[in-house]
Structure 1
């Protein structure tokens, strides 16, 4: 890694200002919005936006739009990104300013998580019905069954199990299964549903999707169904899910494609308005996973609230069953009018 004098000076000028260096340190912990950064740093939005603009122009951070919100992330690749990583590694972890920023970041994340948990608790009994307002579960479940296949699965993990619907749906496929959810109310519903259905080879337990109470490399299949859009840092959940997989195991993600229904943030605690194939592919690659298939399930109606759901199937390590070439990796659209 080498720079010309002028180039290096410009990069150091961009990073070498107290607020901008603090912004880089915060963005090293995940994607954040201007509102998040304003709350953490206690500075005005115009000032934070100006600093972010300079960092973006210097190619030190990326900006992407998601509905009405703009997210910022630390640049991951390239010489400038490597230089920033070196600078941040040189900062003292005991610095009082950076420590205070880190504490405020934790507070922001905690508040978001608590809001989502409150929403789940209030809507646990009607959760399946709420989800069906936007996505046709029948299409999703049929596609999921096709992608999972009929080969027996020794151990399955369902993250954000909710009402336990996935554990019931796939009962004929797995030999044992575990469902994890952070909401006690959801788990109570899930246990009741599993008891009613007579599902004895699956159990549910409370846990944090970002810090699972399980040993790693235990499961052949991990499923994350309509959970990631509630998370401030979905990519961390993917990394934790990857840790749970045995070598060659599969991660199956069902979530929403990008959309513009802003009211879902306030009314239904959504943090992210869907995920593009590019973003999901990048996150999965960083988690050590390779996308094998991506299926877009378009809505059967043209209603304003109907959304496209996407299923991504990724495998840990190098995939061995893709033929011909990479055709199966390309998004496939199903359904719709």
Structure 2
């Protein structure tokens, strides 16, 4: 981390546009163009503000394909600033501009979500076919089985269940199985599929960022080809970890990092895959014991990661 004297740090933050930029990036990774749109700036002017914030270590760039996303700098650098701003807001000192920026940011979130939703609605009927373009289902199933072992799965949650294929594969090993998805069209296909095959499982509409379940409610949690649709994948993993019981297992299967930038347009992907290090870091930061299970090369490589939450310790009786 570069060391910037406090006086230089406050000089950088003395521009209201830079403070507003930090507050926006606190909620969502954004491109320079999106920041310019929300803040009513030209892209060249916005780039100057971003450069100053980057030199102060407050903002970092993340390149993905041809796109460059901006995110906050290290927590040790930015959290004291947010703590100060939050304390100021509690005394009634928050600038109205922050609230107005958040409202405009909602429009960008809505645009992104609507684009993905339109894709799901158009392609729900051939969803499984699209997923098989990368690696055959049987190969992915084999590695997921290896990650889970042969133990009973207990209470099973499939986040982003799509057409219910994971429930079809795993529900028989669970004491109860639930699949959730944001798309009503996907859930309609999942219900028909599971009913046709005689699979006993529940389905419900839910947001992967805010699951309507209690902490520790599930023994097994699956995230299969879900994260690349998330603009905040670490937040999705954190929510999945929240509902994972002690002694439980989470399995994440998704694309390895790639450079197929056309997938954003063709398939509404928000992220171009993930490195092992990124996923393992997110999982271990949540107190889980994480590992790489395997990589399956195809048109794109599919990676499988697993994590366990340690069982509660049993105190010895004296």
SS in 2 for 1:211: coil
Change in 2 beyond 3 A, CA 1:285/1:54? farther
SS in 1 for 2:234: helix
Deviation at 1:86, TM superposition (A): 2.9
Distance 2:150 2:199 in 1: 18
SS in 2 for 1:214: coil
The alignment status of 1:259 with 2:252, answered yes or no, reads no
Change in 2 beyond 3 A, CA 1:294/1:38? farther
Distance 1:215 1:77 in 2: 28
Map 1:237-252 onto structure 2 (within 5 A): 237-252=236-251
Distance 1:240 1:82 in 2: 21
Map 1:17-36 onto structure 2 (within 5 A): 17-36=15-34
Distance 1:10 1:319 in 2: 47
Distance 2:242 2:107 in 1: 26
- Whether the 8 Å CA contact 2:246–2:311 is kept in 1: the answer is no
In the TM superposition, what whole-angstrom CA distance separates every residue of 1:38-93 from its partner, at most 9, and x where no partner exists?
Answer: 22112111222221121111111221211111112112333x33432333324427
RMSD, aligned CA: 2.0
Distance 2:192 2:68 in 1: 41
Deviation at 1:317, TM superposition (A): 4.9
Distance 2:146 2:306 in 1: 12
Distance 2:54 2:310 in 1: 33
Change in 2 beyond 3 A, CA 1:133/1:21? same
In the TM superposition, what whole-angstrom CA distance separates every residue of 1:153-200 from its partner, at most 9, and x where no partner exists?
Answer: 110100000000000111332121100011111111101111111112
- Whether the 8 Å CA contact 1:160–1:227 is kept in 2: the answer is yes
| TM-score, length of structure 2 as denominator length | 0.91
Q: Which runs of 5+ in 2 are unaligned?
A: 314-318
SS in 1 for 2:259: coil
- 2:117 match: 117
Distance 2:287 2:74 in 1: 15
Deviation at 1:27, TM superposition (A): 1.1
Q: Which runs of 5+ in 1 are unaligned?
A: 300-305, 321-337
Change in 2 beyond 3 A, CA 1:281/1:193? same
- 2:308 match: 315
The alignment status of 1:71 with 2:82, answered yes or no, reads no
SS in 2 for 1:28: helix
In the TM superposition, what whole-angstrom CA distance separates every residue of 1:116-148 from its partner, at most 9, and x where no partner exists?
Answer: 111111111100001111233221111011111
SS in 2 for 1:156: strand
- Whether the 8 Å CA contact 1:156–1:222 is kept in 2: the answer is yes
- 1:175 match: 175
- Whether the 8 Å CA contact 2:143–2:293 is kept in 1: the answer is no
- Whether the 8 Å CA contact 1:120–1:186 is kept in 2: the answer is yes
Map 1:146-295 onto structure 2 (within 5 A): 146-200=146-200, 202-295=201-294
Structure 1 window deviating more from structure 2 (170-179 vs 264-273): it is: 170-179
Distance 1:96 1:253 in 2: 40
- Whether the 8 Å CA contact 2:181–2:207 is kept in 1: the answer is yes
